[in-house]
Amino acid sequence: GGGRGFSIMSSSGGGGDHGNQVAEFRLSASSVLKIQKGDITTWSVDGSSDAIVNPANERMLGGGGADGAIHRAAGPELRAACYDVPEVRPGVRCPTGEARITPGFRLPASHVIHTVGPIYDMDKKAESETSLRNAYSLRVAKENNIQYIAFTAISCGVYGYPYDEAAAVAISTIMEFAKDFKEVHFVLFSDEIYDVWLNKANELLQK
Ligand code: AR6
């Protein structure tokens, strides 16, 4: 009894093949994990206590991948706010495994949590794993009273983290530290990563 439910639901809008299905898992009595395909720049739940997590780099001034898309959608105000984040050493505003928060500006989400995942190093797996775990930045979100948070597959693009290993870290970290958020979302760009995440959540969250 009281087990973790799992269901596939279609989100509103209809349309694509299985492109807008949302897989839902219970994390605690008050908290759900939702895994869906999509573009994180369009994500929002309530526009006041929600945050998207930007897989940034240590300079925090934008880049390619999701970071580039988030900066384009948020407008130049986001880069200005990032520029104002103090450097901890020359060229580093946010060290690997840490996070910084800014407003979302023109994004539908109210906040952006900029986090820096590791550049995957197969010779330093334990270090990569610790940094990735830390990049899931849930403490910063809690300190800022975020109730709804959306992640991409941090480090799974430019930074080269193997999908299956990254999914295990991502989902186990969420299971451990996200039980008091209302909703935790993964908004995943590719079919392949979506499938890996869904399989891993089924493995770790299904009884
Ligand atoms: N919505 C959701 N996911 C996305 C989007 C989007 N709009 N765009 C890309 N992804 P990456 P990293 C996926 O490379 O590996 C940047 O240049 C993408 O398919 O964005 O942590 C930064 O400035 C992949 O699955 O981040 C850093 O220099 C995932 O998001 C560096 O890349 C993460 O890929 C960070 O590399």
User: Which of 8-12, 41-45, 152-156, 170-174 is predicted with the least confidence, judged by mean pLDDT?
Assistant: 8-12
Q: List pLDDT tens digits, range 86-108.
A: 999 999 999 999 999 999 999 99
CA of 188 to the centre of ligand 1 (A): 10
Pocket test for ligand 1, best of 189, 190, 194 (most atoms within 8 A of CB): 189
Residue 196 has pLDDT above 50, yes or no: yes
Residue 17 has pLDDT above 60, yes or no: no
Residues serving a catalytic function are: 67
Q: List pLDDT tens digits, range 67-87.
A: 999 999 999 999 999 999 999
- What does DSSP say about strands 99-103 and 183-188: parallel, antiparallel, or unpaired? unpaired
Give pLDDT, residue 137: 82
- Give the ligand 1 atom nearest the CA of 161: 15
